Structures are given as C-alpha cells and as structure tokens.
A and B are shown apart, each in its own frame.
Chain A
Amino acid sequence: MSDQENAYWRANIRLMLSLLFVWFVVSFGCGILFLDFLNQFQLFGFKLGFWFSQQGSIFVFVCLIFIYTWRMNHLDKVFGVEESDNESPQTGAADSIDGES
C-alpha cells in the first residue's frame, strides 16, 4: 500500500475505534454494566438504565452508522481513494463466473 493509502487506513481505524467505543458504552455500559446505577435516574416515564437497554442504545446505533458513512465518504475524498463511476466493481465477480479467480 502507498503512504497515502496507509494514512487513509489509519484514519479509518481511528474513526472506527472511536465509534465502537460509543457503541460499547451505550449498550454494554449503560444498558448492562451500569444498568442499576442509571436506574435511579428518570427520563420521562422511563428509568434511565432501562431506557438505554430497551430503546436508547438502538437510537444511538442508527446514528453511529450514519456518522460512519458520512465521515468515511469524506475520508475517501480527502485521500483520493473514491471508487470511480466508470469502473464497475462487479466486473471482478462477473469474471469469476468463467472460472477465473
């Protein structure tokens, strides 16, 4: 891989790890490990820990994927590694039908 591509990969890993950190905190952290502690707080009619484990974590999951998509598309552009429109990535797959791999 070129230096450019290595830098892209490192930026990707950094982004991924920070998003996975949030993923871990809302689900395993708020929803399981700190469930009882958070349950002493109230969010509308919910106990807070209960809300995280039944709904809150899911809302955060959705946000995480969209943030990832948005940031990755941005990184693709910055590092100039976007897919070009004329190159169809499926050609690789189509070739292999004829026994080439």
Chain B
Amino acid sequence: MDAQVLTYIFVGLSFSLYIGIAIWSRSASTQEFYVAGGHVHPVANGAATAADWMSAASFLSMAGIIAFEGADGARYLMGWTGGYVLLALLLAPYLRKFAKFTVPDFVGDRYYSSTARLVAVVCVIFISFTYVAGQMRGVGVVFSRFLEVDINSGVVIGMAIVFFYAVLGGMKGITYTQVAQYCVLIFAYMVPAIYISIALTNNPFPMFGLGSEMIEGGYLLEKLDGLSAELGMTAFTSGTKSTIDMFFITAALMAGTAGLPHVIVRFFTVPSVKDARISAGYALIFIALLYTTAPAVAAFARINLIDHIDGMNYAQAPDWFTKWEDSGLIAWFDKNDDGVVQYRGGSAMKPTAPSFIDSEGGSGQRAVSNMPTKNENELYIDRDIIVLAHPEIAQLPNWVIALVAAGGLAAALSTAAGLLLVISTAVSHDLMKKTFRPNITERQELFYARVAAAVAIGIAGLFGIYPPGFVAQVVAFAFGLAAASFFPVILLGIFSKRMNKEAAIAGMITGLTFTFCYIAYFKFVSPETNNAMHWWFGISPEGIGTLGMLMNFAVSAVVMRLTPPPPAEIQQLVANIRVPGRASNLN
C-alpha cells in the first residue's frame, strides 16, 4: 500500500483511540479535572509525564539538531533529562505532600500572598502559551507533508481532537490519552531506529549501535567523523560552543525542566508521596529510552544523508527529496551548474533559509533568490525534517513511514493538551476561584475550567495557523523564565523555613526582569549583536536563565534576612510537607 494511504489509516486509528479514551474517562468534579482525582498509578503517571514532556521538539527537532551540531546537542540531552533528578529529589515529593492543584496554589499559600500568586499565574500562562505555539507548528508540518492537506486544516483537525479530550476529560482524560500517546510515539521512534541500526551496524539496540562497528568494518562514529572531515563539516563528536555557554545552557534547561508547570502538576495526580518519588523514576526511564536513541538516530541520519545525497544527480533524485523541496524545507543551489548535488560543510546560501522564486533552475529544481556563499555546499536541509525524512532516506517500508507521522502527531498533541490544561486551571482555579470570585460553586468552577480550556485551544490554533515569526526565539524564554522564577521560589519554599513573602516576590521579580530583558535585548532589540563578543561572560540568551536563577537565590537570601520571618502557621506548613506521614491539616 502506498505511504499516504497507510498514514491516513495509522493517524485515523490513533485518533479514534484517543477519542475512545476521552469518552471512557470523562471528569465529573474539579478534582478529577485538575488532578485526575489523585488516583493515577505511578507507572501510568510516568508514561503520561513522558508524553507530556516529550514534545514536537523532542520527537521531531532534537535528533535533527544533533545531526547537524553533533556534540553540542548534548545540552538538550542532558538538560532535558537531568532536570528530572532535580524534580524527583527536590520538588515532586514535597509538592505531592502539599496536595493542592496548581503551581500558583503552592506559591500563593506558601508565601501567604495573592500578589505572589498572581505573578505565578502570569508566568504560568506566558510559559505555556509560548510552548503551545511550537506544538501547533509541529502538527502543521506533519499534516502538510504526509497527508497533503494544507497546514490550516491540519491544525484545525488537531485542535478538534485536543478539544474533545481536554475539555471533556480534563486531567483524567489527558492522563490516559497521554499514556496511549506515549506508546504510539515511542514505538514510532524506535522502529525506524532499530531498522536502521541493524542495517548499518547489525546491532538491534540503536543506542548501542551508535558505539558499534559498522557492517563494512570500523567504528561508526570514527567513520562518520572521517566522512565529515572530508566534506568540510564539523566532526560529529566535537562541538563549537564554548564550555561556559554549554554549562549555563545545560543548567538553565535542567532548572527550567524542573520548574515547568505542566510537568510539576503531573506529580499532583498520584496517590501518595512514595508514588511521586517512584513516578519520577518511571518518567525518566520512559524519556531516556527516546533520549539515548536520539544521538544514534542523528548519527545514522548524517551518514545516510551523506551516502545518499552527496554526488547524486538531481535528475535521479528520489521522490522524498523533491517532495520536501516542494514543502520548501529542502533547497538545492547548483553553484557549478553540473546537475549534481554537492553536500558539504557550511551553509549553502545567504541568508541561510531559502526564499523560493517562481521559476526553475537548469535541472528543474526550485530556484531561490538567495545569494550563493563561497563554499562548495549546495544543499539546504531544514533540521526539523530529519526524523520524518530519515525512514524514506533509508528506504524503509511504507508502514514505518506512516508510523512516524502518527508518532510525531502523538508527541505534539500530548504536550499541547498538558499545556492547555495548565492554562485552563490557572484561569479557573487560580484567577477565578482563588482571586476574583471566591464564592463560585464547584460546578461553576468546572464550567469556567472547560470554557478556559476551549478558549486556550482556540488561541493555540491561531498560533498554528498564523505562526508568529518569533516562535523559535521565544522558546528560550520558557526555560529561562521557569529557571529564574519557579525553580528557586519553590525550592526555597520547601528547604528554608525562614523564606518569606518579601524575599519570594523580590527574588522572582529580579530573576524574571533580568532574564526577560537579556533575552529580549538580544532577540528583538539588537539581534545583530547576538554573538559571543557581546554576551555577558560569553553566556548566550539560551543559558541566561541560570544567571537569573542565581540572582534570584542571592536576592532572596539577602531580603529574607532583612525582613520578618513568615507566620508560625506557614512554618508549620513547611514542616508538614517535609514529613510524609504527618497529618496535613495540622494548621
């Protein structure tokens, strides 16, 4: 059967599965809507957390980034997994003991302040929308390439599915669909990786295949480094980023991961403190399966790209090559007019991304208006297509190609749903119930939650249809802000009894303002100076959240010593969340 029909079948089947689960797990109370009633088994919560966490960025983009950047890609691999150690050891068990619904709940109660709660709500909404915008682009890319519908209809279909299970099912619906989505996405990621690993190294475990000898002899990584050197590319096993920048980016991603509200809230859904601890472990196992495979996929993809593309006559280009060219994500600039594709190091044209014009080059390729660069490279490949294109490049069977499309959609939809729920909870619970209309009944609160979820889905859909040009730039914001605001405030709230309202607000405002201004300056105000020459201490905007976090810690430490300690009942609250067996209603 042809790949497109199979893709329709696989995507259709997975979507009906999600809808089926949604109908089976409707939420009847706010507690079910916010935290799935607190009855989620730790393994199920681990799988749901993994799907919640692994977004279109992890599934589609990460291996592509590593394929092009090599060793520098480690900042994502370590940053996005190391954060779980912080989460498991420093936050999750205590927040579970606290037993409320949201991150602003904790901030508001622990710091006995509705100002602190409001700052937290604003951060939650900003971070979550930033993130959702990226997921919707992922949905659009998969739909437009594999189902050949236009991006807009793709986004609308995706919205409809999420609407169905998030609005009906709340956290309960989302949790069980995420478990299903995890299974779909990990299967979709592993199957092509295993195929290709066997083809190249005869090792059925792709994470170990990366370190194995190739079938034709010699270690895979050594061969890849040799090939890269021949073609003038940076070796796969070495990077170009400075050590201090790698250090700060990795730290910001770790602390940001531990402070992201849609991840934290998953630990409110398990029955006990013990379950919260082990659940973080299961989550990381499920995540590690994909993350240790990603560098293998990246290396295999670079080898296959070089093997199949470099020296290829454009007239004999395979189907996938011209299809991606039609989508505008591959461009070929025949610098020497020989009709043969030269794939080398460096970017092929200026500016790097192609702008196509309505005419054809000498060999029938899509012509671009960019200027050629001086190097020999003639090829532009968008990093986001590596995972999607790789099965076709490696000539795997059609059903594998269809499976990858379904997996990409599962990754994007599961993360989008988790984020939308956090937004709707922030509105109905933290804004309406806790701040503006404390007298609403549970039924009304549930109604507000559903309306907020529906509105949030609408806005997310608009981001997908009219993608703001700054999506890629603002992702740095989400992690930087989470690292500079939530992580220190929650950490100190648990580990310091002396930590008070004044210190928390001063710390959050310092961390947020500094991080926000630094990123905004280099991304929007003065993007032409965004290079190591102008960065403070050589730290890029991606890593500046770490410095913001350190400032937050420093300001909090000083302010808490100059202001009165928190009231006795707050110190009691802290004592309670530290000890699992202590009755929670002592105050």
Given contacts A28-B247, A54-B295, A58-B288, is CB(A19)–CB(B211) below 8 Å?
Answer: no
The reply to whether B78 and A27 contact each other, CB–CB distance below 8 Å, is yes
Asked if B210 CB lies within 8 Å of chain A CBs, one says: yes
Within 8 Å of chain A (Cβ to Cβ): is B375?
A: no
Asked if A80 meets B581 with Cβ closer than 8 Å, knowing A28-B251, A57-B82, A93-B101, the reply is: yes
B78 touches A68 (CB 8 A): no
Q: How does the 8 Å CB contact mask read for B213-238 relative to A, with 1 for contact and 0 for none? A: 10000011110000000000000010
Query: Which one of A39, A44, A59, A81 contacts B212 once the chains associate, using CB atoms below 8 Å?
Result: A44
The 8 Å CB contact of B85, one of A12, A20, A91, A97, is A20
* Cβ proximity bits A73-101 to B, threshold 8 Å, 1 near / 0 not: 10010001111100111111111111101
A contact residues around B250 at 8 Å (CB): 27-28, 31-32
B390 at the binding interface (Cβ < 8 Å): no
B243 at interface (Cβ–Cβ under 8 A)?
Answer: yes
Whether the pair B578, A61 counts as a contact (CB closer than 8 A) is no
With contacts A20-B89, A58-B291, A95-B585 taken as known, whether A44 is within 8 angstroms of B31 at the C-beta atoms is no
Task: Determine the distance from Cα of A61 to Cα of B281 in the docked complex, in whole angstroms.
Answer: 9
* A19 lies within 8 A of B89 (CB): yes
User: A78 → chain B, closest Cβ, in Å?
Assistant: 12
The minimal Cβ–Cβ distance linking A50 to chain B, given in whole angstroms, is 5
Is B38's beta carbon under 8 Å from chain A?
Answer: yes
Residues of A within 8 A of B101 (CB): 93
A-B contact count (CB 8 A): 179
Question: Considering the chains assembled together, what is the distance between the CA atoms of A12 and B273 in angstroms?
Answer: 14
B438 contacts the other chain (CB 8 A) = yes
Which residues in A have their C-beta under 8 angstroms from that of B579?
A: 1, 5, 8-9, 81
Contact A65 B31 (CB under 8 A): no
In the assembled complex, B207 has its CB within 8 A of some CB on chain A: yes
Q: Which one of B37, B38, B99, B438 has the greatest number of beta carbons of chain A within 10 Å?
A: B99
- In the bound complex, do residue B84 and residue A89 qualify as a contact, i.e. CB atoms below 8 Å apart? no
Asked if residues B85 and A64 are in contact (CB atoms below 8 Å), the reply is: yes
Partner of A32, one of B90, B210, B213, B243: B243
Q: Which residues of A contact B35 (CB under 8 A)?
A: 93
Quick check: B78 and A57 within 8 Å, CB to CB?
yes
Q: What's the Cα separation between A70 and B85 when bound, in Å?
A: 14
Interface-centre pick from A5, A28, A80, A90 (highest chain B CB count, 10 A): A90
Q: When the two chains form their complex, are residues B220 and A76 in contact, meaning their CB atoms are under 8 A apart? A: no
Q: Does A55 sit within 8 A of B, measured CB to CB?
A: yes
Nearest residue in B to A23 (C-beta to C-beta)?
Answer: B85
Q: Which residues of B contact A28 (CB under 8 A)?
A: 247, 250-251
Task: Report, nearest first, the 5 A-B pairs whose CB atoms are least far apart.
Answer: A45-B219, A53-B74, A45-B211, A65-B281, A90-B38
Give residues in B with beta carbon < 8 Å to A: 29-31, 35, 37-38, 66, 71, 73-74, 77-78, 81-82, 84-85, 88-90, 93, 96-97, 99-101, 109, 207, 210-213, 219-222, 237, 243, 246-247, 250-251, 254, 268, 271-274, 277-278, 280-281, 284-285, 288, 291-292, 295, 438-439, 442, 445, 575, 578-585
Binding site for B on A (CB under 8 A): 1, 5, 8-9, 12, 16, 19-20, 23, 27-28, 31-33, 35, 39, 43-47, 50-51, 53-55, 57-59, 61-62, 64-66, 68-69, 72-73, 76, 80-84, 87-99, 101
Besides A61-B82, A99-B439, 8 more A-B contacts (Cβ < 8 Å) are A28-B251, A32-B247, A54-B292, A65-B88, A65-B281, A89-B97, A90-B37, A99-B438
8 A-B pairs with C-beta separation under 8 A: A5-B575, A9-B579, A19-B89, A39-B237, A61-B85, A69-B281, A76-B274, A83-B581
